[in-house]
Amino acid sequence: MVTKQDSDLLAKVIKFLFWPMAILVMFFLLVPVYIMVKVSLSAPQDILTQHPPFLIHNFTWNHWLKVLKSGNLWLPFQKSFVVATITTVIAIMVAAPAAYVISRMPKKVRYTVILSLFFTRMFPEVGIALPIAVNFIKLNLLDTYTGLILAHLVKVLPFIAWILVGTFETIPEDLEQAAMVDGASRWTALTKVVFPISLSGIAVAAIFTWLESWNEFTYALYLTLSQRSLPLQTYYYVLRGDWFQSAAYSTILTIPVALVTFLLQRYLKSGYLSGAIKG
Amino acid sequence: MSEVVFKNVCKNYGQVTVIHDLNLTIRDGEFLVLVGPSGCGKSTILRMIAGLEKITAGELYIGDRLVNDLPPKDRDIAMVFQNYALYPHMNVYENMAFGLKLRRFPGEEIDRRVKEAASILRIEHLLKRKPKELSGGQRQRVAIGRSIVRKPQVFLMDEPLSNLDAKLRVEMRAEISKLHNRLQTTVVYVTHDQTEAMTMGERIAVIKDGSIQQVDTPLNIYNHPANMFVAGFIGSPAMNFLPCRVERIDDEFYLDAQAFKIQVPKAKTEKLEAYTGREVVFGFRPEDIHSEPVLSETHANSSFTGVVDVVELLGAEMIVHLSTGTHSIIAKLDVRTRLKRGDKLQLTFDMNKIHLFDKENEVAIL
Amino acid sequence: MKILKTYRLEIIMLLPLVLYIIGFTFLPVMNTIFMSFQNPHTGAFPTFANYQYIFGRRDFNDAFWNTMIITGIGLTLEMTIGLVIALMLTKNFKGRGVFRSFLLIPMGVPTLVSAVTMTYIFNIHGYLNELLYRLHLIKIPVDWAGGGLKTLLMIVFADMWKVTPMVVLLLLAGLESIPGEVYEAASIDGASTWQTFRHVTLPLLKPSITMTLILRAIDAFRIFELPMVLAGKNTPVLSTYAYMEYNAYNNPYTSAAGSTILLVMILIFIFGYLFVSERNKEVI
């Protein structure tokens, strides 16, 4: 049992350590990003040395110019962009109607379904990617957009369905019923009332889905021989030990993710977090 | 013709029966109120008319059509929901026009009807607003407007006033009644508030545990409740119930409540014969007890003495909680005498307005 | 038949998702489990040859223990630090908004990128060694990626940087859902800071902790990108081991065996944890 004096001590310790801790945490959070940007903007003599300085001594845009001019950026960028976009569109089309149905199920059934969506996360990605890769070799789907889209759907569908169930749950059933009394069929009630109202929720879910696909690494690794996506291109430069290229590519990869995270931070509720802002 | 007729309608959810063998005819143009405690099945009945709940067994007619399997959109009904259910992404005009658009009415007709409804409900100035920019009372009007533009055969209203504050509720009560007088369309109105039922309904159906207890005009329900549930549910403060024994001395019938004994008037004795010597439940409304001293002298055989427990002043009248013997009684008296806790009070029953109920099945004897 | 008719629209709407999850998640997993018991050469089933093979491999044993250590240390640190930061954020202090924004930084950085920047920090000529050198803590640079515990700690640190903010926000959501009256009541009852934490905050936060812990455990067991980028082949974990078996040794059957073991570990952890926490609940 803790006595009153001890408790005061604890309160004092907390008060004393609060700001040092806060500042330390903020420092740790910021440093890696700073270093990434710094490497991409520093001249080689700042980096390729036994004792690299912590500040940028010799500033240069050269790495960026090289990345942009080399012509190696465009194809991976295009692949990642197109795959992410198509994946998102298909994911919404498949998951939104299903999520709506789930959101209108009786509570117990709904809970079970949501839980089983969650269970798909327990399967190791390497275990799912392996047979998919083996089969895609036979189907000639390696290195294709189609193959990667199909694989990314595996990753994003449970996530987006989960999020959208939450979105639809907030729309009162009375609204659809009002529409049906007003003369709408079930389908019209959905397209004219439910989906328009949930549009902003669907849009936010879509954006996060897009990021999931944009960053995706594991499936891409299994399904790619030469047509690299942006994350794989970054990894390629890491393997080659090219710091400047990998830093620049990393920054490009990060920009949309960072933008969305900060602009849509109010949506970063439990659902999204547990759905994996893992990126 | 827009009668609504239930014939032996049942509704089950799995093993649970929520509506038992419902028979009810709602007449053309009538304002019928379904009233009962929460969970009694009144909303389910309404939603069965709307087609939002499937009927397990029996037949439901709207007009001459059997509508058991008809989807809501084909039933020609309109509904006002408890929380209004206005479409948040449409403005007031679009909300009201939505049903007409779905039915492919021509544009001018839609415009004419929406404007007409808006002027009846005095919401013309709100047509461009979104629901979230409206107050509770305004939303309520829009929800009603949305249903009247359709000119349906039947209006269904599911506790439409329960989300309004007390003052607005009284106002809207009168407005809805006025609207009904003007449109002369059948209205089925669900509420748990017996005051609303009494003031608005042309007829009231009192419902308990999925079955109808009594259907009648408000006055008949109030004065001649069919059973103890109806008697206790309608009226505020609620009717007093005391157990007592029927005694016959010569040709006179008496009610013995132990603390007091009163004589039943000749006109009411005819059905009491069978209950001689048996326990019954004696019911009387708080306003049917009087405290004028003169009365207790002239009607000695219908008077008793009570001790005041609590006095609640309401302004023009007061509610007095009394005890007599082991019984507690509530009386509604004029504010004439100053009463305080512990005062003894001579009270007289208005014997023409007493009720007796069978103790076993709680049905009214008289 | 009647159900089919009544819920026709619902079934049509639900079907694509269900079919996709069955076809592209459930069946592949089954396929993997099946392959793990299949003879690579003859296709005979069942056989334990694949398991015998990987159990005999040093890489696999390393991978197994590395996964356990990373998960164990990682989860402990992330949950503890995450809870401390979450508790700090429940206080109303000047600069709280800024602090919160800083927490979003790792979330705005893809995992792969966080791995890449960690290579700059933990490189033998990287920034951590430089810092330690300038502080006169070391003379000779440390080879963080060289293997052993220090490499695992490097991976744990990288993982922590990326996911602790998520843990913080999940726990913070839980903390914020505890009504303020409970704390007021505790303070009126004379509870000390520690007693309040131990007897009010922790029990009420338990559902959030359970959820966060399970989510984190799943991801920690499956960890792939960080060890892949930071440590390569030298320090395998189960995921990267399974990948190597497939990619480097071109042996999908042993890779499948590795994945299956990983799956079993995750299942044992989750159900074990739920079992223990359910049983404790009944005791209390």
pLDDT at A277: 39
Tokens for A202? 């669907």
Question: Exposure string (b/e) for C150-180, b if CB count within 10 Å is 16 or more?
Answer: ebbbbbbbbbbbbbbbbbbbbbbbbbeebee
pLDDT in tens, A63-102: 888 888 887 888 899 999 999 999 999 999 999 999 999 9
Do the chains contact at C13 and A122, CB–CB below 8 Å? no
pLDDT at A272: 56
Q: What is the mean pLDDT of chain B?
A: 90
Angle CA B330–B332–B333, to nearest 5: 130
How far does chain A reach from its first CA to its final CA, in angstroms?
A: 44
Query: By the CB < 8 Å criterion, does B79 face chain A?
Result: yes
Interface-testing mutation among A182, A190, A202, with chain B (most B C-beta atoms within 10 A): A182
Query: By the CB < 8 Å criterion, does A6 face chain B?
Result: no
Of C117, C126, C222, which has the smallest distance from its Cβ to A250's Cβ? C117
Contact partners for chain B, using 3 or more CB pairs closer than 8 A, are A
pLDDT at A278: 39
Does the pLDDT at position C238 exceed 90?
A: yes
pLDDT in tens, C160-199: 999 999 899 889 988 988 888 888 888 888 888 888 888 8
Angle CA B139–B141–B142, to nearest 5: 65
Does the pLDDT at position A220 exceed 90?
A: yes
Strands B186-191, B31-35: parallel, antiparallel or unpaired by DSSP? parallel
Interface-testing mutation among A122, A142, A262, with chain C (most C C-beta atoms within 10 A): A122
- CATH of C60-279 given 3.40.1210.10, 3.30.565.10, 1.10.3720.10, 1.20.1260.10: 1.10.3720.10
Chain A positions in Cβ-Cβ contact with residue C133 (cut-off 8 Å) = 51
pLDDT at A2: 44
pLDDT at A6: 52
pLDDT at A279: 34
From the CB of residue B189, how many other CB atoms can be counted at a distance below 10 Å?
26
A55 Rama class: left (phi>0) / alpha (psi -120 to 50) / beta: beta
Q: What is the mean pLDDT of chain A?
A: 86
- What average pLDDT does this structure show over C98-113? 88
pLDDT at C158: 94
Q: Which of B212, B305, B263, B267 is nearest to B6 (CA)?
A: B212
Distance CA C71, CA A255 (A): 30
Do the chains contact at A177 and B73, CB–CB below 8 Å? no
Phi, psi at B304, each rounded to 5°: -150, 170
Q: Which of B258, B253, B257 is nearest to B272 (CA)?
A: B253
DSSP C148-186: SHHHHHHHHHHHHHHHHHHHHHHHHHHHHTS-HHHHHHH
Distance CA C262, CA C224 (A): 12
pLDDT at B236: 86
Interface-testing mutation among A108, A177, A181, A191, with chain B (most B C-beta atoms within 10 A): A181
Do the chains contact at C16 and A94, CB–CB below 8 Å? yes
* Shortest alpha-carbon distance between residue C39 and chain A (Å): 16
Tokens for A247? 């830093």
Q: Where are the beta strands (DSSP E) in chain B?
A: 4-13, 16-26, 31-35, 57-62, 65-66, 77-80, 154-158, 186-191, 203-208, 211-216, 240-249, 252-256, 261-264, 279-284, 289-290, 303-313, 317-324, 327-334, 344-349, 355-358
Contact (Cβ atoms closer than 8 angstroms) between residue A235 and residue C229: yes
Contact partners for chain C, using 3 or more CB pairs closer than 8 A, are A
Query: By the CB < 8 Å criterion, does B89 face chain A?
Result: yes
Distance CA A65, CA B185 (A): 77
pLDDT in tens, B180-200: 999 899 999 999 999 999 999
Q: What is the pTM of this model?
A: 0.83
Of A215, A253, A268, which has the smallest distance from its Cβ to C169's Cβ? A268
Tokens for B251? 């040709």
Q: Computed from CA positions of residues C70, C76, C81, C86, in that sequence, does the dihedral angle turn out positive or negative?
A: positive
Q: Which of A58, A76, A123, A22 is nearest to A228 (CA)?
A: A76
Q: Residue B223: pLDDT band by 50, 70, 90 thresholds?
A: very high
Query: By the CB < 8 Å criterion, does B160 face chain A?
Result: no
Tokens for B240? 């007093």
Does the pLDDT at position C284 exceed 50?
A: no
For residue B350, the SS3 value is: coil
Max CA distance (Å), chain A: 76
Q: Residue B109: pLDDT band by 50, 70, 90 thresholds?
A: very high
Q: In sequence order, what are the residues at sequence separation of 6 or more whose Cβ sits closer than 8 angstroms to the Cβ of residue C96?
A: C89
Strands B65-66, B211-216: parallel, antiparallel or unpaired by DSSP? unpaired
Q: Residue A270: pLDDT band by 50, 70, 90 thresholds?
A: low
CA dihedral C1, C3, C7, C11 (to 10 degrees): -70
Of A130, A234, A273, which has the smallest distance from its Cβ to C169's Cβ? A273
Distance CA A266, CA B41 (A): 41
Contact (Cβ atoms closer than 8 angstroms) between residue B204 and residue B220: no
Q: Which of C225, C193, C206 is nearest to C278 (CA)?
A: C206
- CA distance readout (Å), B297 to B238, B292, B293: 28, 9, 7
Question: Exposure string (b/e) for A34-56, b if CB count within 10 Å is 16 or more?
Answer: bbbbbbbbbeeebbeeeebeeee
Query: By the CB < 8 Å criterion, does B14 face chain A?
Result: no
pLDDT at B194: 92
- What average pLDDT does this structure show over A195-206? 88
Q: What is the mean pLDDT of chain C?
A: 88
Could you tell me the domains of chain B? 4-233 (3.40.50.300), 240-358 (2.40.50.140)
Distance CA B332, CA A132 (A): 81
Query: By the CB < 8 Å criterion, does A197 face chain B?
Result: yes
pLDDT at A151: 94
B225 Rama class: left (phi>0) / alpha (psi -120 to 50) / beta: beta
Chain C positions in Cβ-Cβ contact with residue A215 (cut-off 8 Å) = 110-112
- What average pLDDT does this structure show over A256-266? 82
Of C13, C108, C112, which has the smallest distance from its Cβ to A261's Cβ? C108
Contact (Cβ atoms closer than 8 angstroms) between residue B332 and residue B319: yes
- What average pLDDT does this structure show over C94-107? 86
Tokens for A149? 């889209």
Q: Residue B1: pLDDT band by 50, 70, 90 thresholds?
A: low
Residue with tokens 């930061």: C85
Distance CA C63, CA C57 (A): 10
Residue in A closest to B104 by C-alpha: A183
Distance CA B243, CA C70 (A): 76
Contact (Cβ atoms closer than 8 angstroms) between residue B11 and residue B18: yes
Share of chain A above pLDDT 70, in %: 93
Residue in A closest to B74 by C-alpha: A183
In total, the C-beta contacts within 8 angstroms joining chain A to chain C are 258
Share of chain A above pLDDT 90, in %: 35
pLDDT in tens, B136-183: 889 999 999 999 998 999 999 999 998 888 888 898 999 999 999 998
pLDDT at C215: 87
pLDDT at A89: 96
Does the pLDDT at position B119 exceed 60?
A: yes
Contact (Cβ atoms closer than 8 angstroms) between residue B324 and residue B304: yes
Of A172, A174, A183, which has the smallest distance from its Cβ to B73's Cβ? A183
Of A127, A157, A265, which has the smallest distance from its Cβ to C262's Cβ? A127
Residue with tokens 């004419």: B112
pLDDT in tens, B312-359: 988 888 999 999 888 899 999 887 777 888 888 888 998 888 999 999
Query: By the CB < 8 Å criterion, does B54 face chain A?
Result: no
pLDDT in tens, B295-308: 777 777 888 889 99
CA dihedral C275, C277, C282, C284 (to 10 degrees): 160
From the CB of residue B294, how many other CB atoms can be counted at a distance below 10 Å?
9
Q: What is the ipTM of this complex?
A: 0.87
Can you give the three-state secondary structure of A79-135, one letter per residue?
Answer: HHHHHHHHHHHHHHHHHHHHHHHHHCCCHHHHHHHHHHHHHHHHCCHHHHHHHHHHH
pLDDT at A153: 95
pLDDT at A83: 95
User: Of A7-16, A33-42, B220-229, C115-124, where does the model show the most confidence?
Assistant: B220-229
* Shortest alpha-carbon distance between residue A105 and chain B (Å): 14
Contact (Cβ atoms closer than 8 angstroms) between residue C175 and residue C87: yes
Which range among A147-161, B319-333, C134-148, C247-261 shows the weakest confidence by mean pLDDT? C134-148
pLDDT in tens, A115-160: 888 888 889 999 999 999 999 999 999 899 999 999 999 999 998 9
Distance CA A240, CA C230 (A): 13
Question: Exposure string (b/e) for B145-171, b if CB count within 10 Å is 16 or more?
Answer: bbbbbbebbbbbbbbbbeebeeeebee
How far does chain B reach from its first CA to its final CA, in angstroms?
A: 37
Query: By the CB < 8 Å criterion, does A172 face chain B?
Result: yes
